[in-house]
């Protein structure tokens, strides 16, 4: 399973997230006219994890944006995502998913666009996982 599919599967089945966004989870950018609250995700960077024995996995910086129509909605969605991902380890995405060694929140920023009247929480995670074969 590719990493992005595993991430989507994990987020879209986490009770705290689906209680707020249902399955409105998209690869960035946010689709035009999307119902809020919603989540977008994208890889910012990725590097292989190498040892003397060879390539052992991958480390990815993933940005997850939580979109809402209110400041409180943005923060509730951000806290649900943080609760789901920060310090996560295990098989992400269900059977045949990606083995995550550790996921760690690196940055948490709030944003507001007065033109669209959308609130956004920008969350950066570093996710270390085993190599996908």
CB hemisphere CA count around 67 (13 angstroms): 24
User: Which of residues 11 and 46 earns the better pLDDT score?
Assistant: 11
Do residues 11 and 41 lie in contact, with contact meaning Cβ atoms separated by under 8 Å?
Answer: yes
Cα distance between residue 3 and residue 43, in whole Å: 10
pLDDT score for 50: 67
pLDDT(41) > 80: yes
Residues 90-132: tens digit of each pLDDT: 999 988 899 999 999 999 999 999 999 999 999 999 999 987 6
For 50-90, how does the pLDDT look when each residue is reduced to its tens digit (9 = 90+)?
Answer: 666 666 788 999 999 999 999 999 999 999 999 999 999 99
Query: Residue 15 corresponds to which tokens in the numbers above?
Result: 């009770």
Q: In terms of CATH architecture, what is 3-130?
A: 2-Layer Sandwich (3.30)
Report domain extents, the chain. 3-130
Do 24 and 45 contact (CB within 8 A), yes or no? no
Q: What is the pLDDT of residue 95?
A: 86
Three-class DSSP labels, the chain: CCHHHHHHHHHHCCHHHHHHHCCCEEECCCCCCCCCCEEEEEEEEEEEEEECCEEEEEEEEEEEEEEECCHHHHHHHHHHHHHHHCCCCEEECCCCCEEEEEEEEEEEEEEEECCCCEEEEEEEEEEEEECCC
* 111-120 pLDDT, tens digit each: 999 999 999 9
What global pTM score does this model have?
0.91
Q: pLDDT of 3-38, one tens digit each?
A: 999 999 999 999 999 999 999 999 999 999 999 999
Q: Is the pLDDT of residue 48 over 80?
A: no
Tokens of 62: 């993933």
């Amino acid at each position: 399973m590719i990493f992005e599919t595993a991430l989507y599967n994990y987020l879209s089945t986490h009770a705290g997230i689906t209680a707020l966004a249902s399955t409105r989870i998209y690869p960035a950018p946010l689709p035009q006219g999307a119902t809020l609250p919603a989540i977008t995700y994208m890889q910012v960077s990725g590097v292989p994890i190498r040892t003397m024995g060879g390539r052992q996995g991958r480390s990815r910086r993933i940005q997850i944006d939580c979109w809402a129509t209110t400041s409180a909605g943005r923060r509730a969605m951000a806290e649900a995502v943080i609760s789901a991902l920060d310090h996560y380890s295990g098989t992400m995405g269900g059977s045949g998913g990606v083995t995550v060694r550790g996921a760690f929140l690196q940055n948490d920023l709030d944003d507001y666009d007065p033109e669209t009247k959308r609130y956004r929480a920008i969350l950066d995670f570093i996710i270390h996982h085993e190599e996908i074969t």
